[in-house]
Amino acid sequence: MFASNPFAELSASIPTVYMQGYIVVMILLVMGGTILDMLHKKSAQYFFENAKKAQKSAKRSVTGGEKVAIATSVLVKEVLTSGEFDNPRRRLSHLLTMWGTIIFIVTTAIMIFSPSSTSTLLPQLWHIGALMLAVGGYWFWFAIRVDVAAEGLSWFRLERADLFILSLLATSTFALIWSFTGGGVTVFFALFVLSSTVLFGGVYWSKFAHMFFKPAAAYQKKIIMADGGRENLPPDYDLTDPEVQRKFPDVPMYMGKNPPNMGLCIKAERADHY
């Protein structure tokens, strides 16, 4: 079962061209939802205006070569390996969810667009992708979400912001149950199609589009560090540096002669005072 293509058997009841049409409609829905989301939140407009404003505080100009290096580092660190997450549990959960989703979606499209393929690798990857998504997603839902992990709220409290993760979980869960119960046109197939339609059709209302916006934001964040602008935030001062001590002569009055490095307060302790 792990190695058999559930869509090949389905084509006995549903013509392959309908399945291919469904995939095209889903792609159009994602594109439309992302564009509407950008227009509604004015995020692209804000992004470009903010980048222009940040450029005014730049201390130096970033060369083309540096921009390529920054874009490469964003691709390798933030995009491919979820490097924005400092917390290893959140990072691992995001890696499982993201790569599981990508593997699941890509193999679905390949299997549907090449129905005569006899590859056993594709169905195996399809199941592995769905399982990775389910493991990373349920881990996030029950244990990692800020509402649950840091605010002590119950895991079954729902908000519109949960549409993305819940539709991802429903899609992978019903896809796996559908395949494990033998495929075909069943109630599990209907639930699989319904949840994936909500996932791809709900982009305007969900966090789906973050996968396109986050890389751009990460790139911009690195540019303002490279050009010295830092969005007018102060530099990270080293209080043992004589130059810094000269600049802030009153620090010993408040913090003694050897001020300790306080670090990032956000990392001082886990938020669990509920």
Sites of contact with ligand HEM (CB under 6 A): 78-79, 84, 94, 97-98, 101-102, 164-165, 207, 210-211, 214-215, 218
With CA atoms as reference, report the closest residue to 1 among 176, 134, 232: 176
Q: How far is the CB of 93 from ligand HEM (least distance, A)?
A: 8
**H helix runs in the chain, sequence order:** 6-10, 16-41, 43-56, 64-73, 88-113, 121-139, 146-149, 163-180, 187-201, 210-226, 242-247, 251-255
Q: How far is the CB of 207 from ligand HEM (least distance, A)?
A: 5
Whole-number Å distance between alpha carbons of 2 and 120 = 9
Whole-number Å distance between alpha carbons of 6 and 178 = 9
Which of residues 58 and 144 has its CB atom nearest to ligand HEM in the complex? 144
How far lies 242's CA from each of 14, 214, 246, 251, in Å?
75, 38, 6, 12
Which of residues 91 and 230 has its CB atom nearest to ligand HEM in the complex? 91
Which of residues 14 and 153 has its CB atom nearest to ligand HEM in the complex? 153
Q: Amino acid letter at 173? A: T
Q: How far is the CB of 181 from ligand HEM (least distance, A)?
A: 25
With CA atoms as reference, report the closest residue to 56 among 236, 232, 225, 233: 232
Which of residues 83 and 115 has its CB atom nearest to ligand HEM in the complex? 83
Q: How far is the CB of 101 from ligand HEM (least distance, A)?
A: 4
Which of residues 97 and 173 has its CB atom nearest to ligand HEM in the complex? 97
Q: How far is the CB of 72 from ligand HEM (least distance, A)?
A: 14
